[in-house]
A and B are shown apart, each in its own frame.
Chain A
Amino acid sequence: MRAPTICTRREAVLDELTQLIEGRHPHCQTIIARFLRDPEFQQASELLAKAIEEEQRYRRSAVIDLPPGWLLPV
């Protein structure tokens, strides 16, 4: 197999950087990366955290099932 030339390497790097900028890169698809990019995701997590905090005042500790895709706010 031939090593990539500087030109093809340059194009590949530019393409990868463009994917990162546009959020299309695989690194951008992780749940944390989506959380970082998405203000609605952040807001929803914050609301949920506050709701859980409120619950603490009225109910005793209970184990509940993990909702799919759940992520604690940072």
Chain B
Amino acid sequence: MPRLEGVAVEHQIAGEDPRASLLARTLTELDIANPCDWQGGVSRYLLDTLERWITLHGSNAIREQFSLHATLRSNPGLYGSEDIDHARLYLAVEADAAGYVAIGPTVDLLKAVHPQLPVTFYRLMTGALGRWARAYDYQDALERVEMWKEWIEGEENSEQYEFPDVEGCIPAEMRMEPLDTEGLRDLTNGIKDGVVRRLIQGALDLDQVSQQVNPPQISEETREALMDCNPPLPTLLVSFRHQDAVVAAFDEDSQAMLEAEPEPSFLAEIVPADAASVRKAFDSLAGLCETLATASRLMTLLPGCQEEGHQRGSAH
């Protein structure tokens, strides 16, 4: 074979995707990126911009309770090898581990004030968070146990299987109807207990913050690309007590959560040259961050949180 003296046989390339340069320019035009961060490299500039944006929208509070990471990439999934759309980029947030809260002591505190208060508070908190990220709670655990029971139907010796008693760990007050917002505000006006008032106000604030911006809508094409993915990893696990049946169901369920690639917790499509598209994606990210930051601040107020919760560490 002919040899070319002096020619390297391998070249390493660190190239910039043209979409990244377009996005960097649009972010600078929108004043989302700070030109002072520019050091000549597009990737570094985009990462600094993303970090700056997340910091601006509550990263310190988020880190207290949650573990997530954000990426800008050319595919909606983590492992896609071919771009499904050469004109798009994706802004994704994924959970590294689930935050954890045991809400039982809060239920005890609130039911002493009004029997419908625990379920009202619970629905406000998990509903607001659920608009943006997946929270695993007793309802997921109930569904999962139901599914496991269906799987063993008709099997010989099916009695040998034991399932977590999720039904048995749900406080009676959680089966009541929640108060509507007006009823909750009327009730709150008459509450003297400062801790309870702060909890209710925190839940109302969370509900409001979660609705300030709408989560991003994704296209059918992107939806199809994620068709074979598992559901997103939970951002938060909500049990009633430490090591109760909800936690047991979660532990069992989590064994299979990574058997297939999970969907991102948050995904926004970006057309890098389109200012409206970029603005919308970054506003949505701000909505997610502010919801998580407000949830995190609320979680630190929950009674018994330090003893009952926060002990699981990485829950996936």
Contacts and interface: CB of A to CB of B under 8 A. Distances in A.
A66 B7 contact: yes
A62 B26 CA distance: 52
B38 A13 contact: yes
Given A20-B42, A61-B2, A63-B2, A13 B7 contact: no
Contacts of A17: 21, 24-25, 28, 42
Given A21-B22, A32-B13, A10 B28 contact: yes
Interface residues of A, number: 28
B21 A64 contact: no
Given A6-B35, A64-B4, A74 B25 contact: no
A17 to B, nearest CB: 4
Contacts of A14: 25, 28-29, 35
A47 interface: no
B21 A20 contact: yes
Nearest to B6: A66
A34 B81 CA distance: 23
Contacts of B38: 9, 13, 16
Contact of B15 (A6, A36, A53): A36
B271 to A, nearest CB: 14
B21 A21 contact: yes
A33 B11 CA distance: 12
Interface string B20-36: 01101100110000011
B4 A21 contact: no
Interface string A6-31: 10011011101110110000000000
Contact of B36 (A9, A32, A36): A9
Contacts of B3: 61-64
Contact of A72 (B9, B15, B24): B9
Contacts of B227: none
Nearest to B19: A21
Quick one: which of A10, A18, A61, A62 has the most chain B CB within 10 A?
Answer: A10
Contacts of B8: 72
Interface string A53-70: 101100101111010001
B13 A36 contact: yes
B28 A55 contact: no
A71 interface: yes
Interface of B: 1-11, 13, 15-16, 18, 21-22, 24-25, 28-29, 35-36, 38, 40, 42
Interface of A: 6, 9-10, 12-14, 16-18, 20-21, 32-33, 36, 52-53, 55-56, 59, 61-64, 66, 70-72, 74
Nearest 3 A/B pairs, CB to CB: A17-B25, A56-B1, A13-B35
25 contacts: A6-B36, A14-B29, A14-B35, A16-B40, A17-B25, A17-B42, A18-B25, A20-B21, A21-B18, A21-B21, A21-B22, A21-B25, A32-B13, A32-B15, A56-B1, A59-B1, A59-B2, A63-B3, A64-B2, A70-B4, A72-B7, A72-B10, A72-B11, A74-B11, A74-B13
